[in-house]
Amino acid sequence: MEMKSLKMTYNMGYSECVEAFFPIIFGHISSMEGSADDTAKRAKNIQSFLTEWKVFIKDFVREDPDQFTLIRCAEIFAAANAPFSSTFHIIIQVLFTLKVLSSQIIQ
């Protein structure tokens, strides 16, 4: 609710909101138990966390440019955080499975 209010107050686009909250959300995943050490545990944490936050993310990913922004933010996050560099494809797959990303964008 607060993000939507801030979006309206500052007249921001959805893509700008995605750029603002995505690193914060993934920062929480990186601090979850086992995320730094075990790839399988990290993948499970990604899936459970994104499933939990799906509705919030979908509120801000409405059109193709927003989806591209989300992919770019995931790519930047994965490149900047060594434990996540090998799980970028998992992030994208989970977002697609949750119907946050469309098949048109993935192709």
pLDDT tens digit sequence for 31-88: 777 766 778 888 898 999 999 999 988 988 888 998 999 999 999 988 998 888 888 9
Distance CA 54, CA 73 (A): 16
- Beta strand ranges found along the chain (DSSP E): none
Q: Count other C-beta atoms under 10 Å from residue 77's C-beta.
A: 20
pTM of the model: 0.82
Structural domain harbouring 30: 2-106
Count of domains forming the chain: 1
Task: Provide long-range contacts, Cβ within 8 A and 24+ apart, for 28-35.
Answer: 30/81, 30/83, 30/84, 35/83
Q: Which tokens is 97 given? A: 């499975």
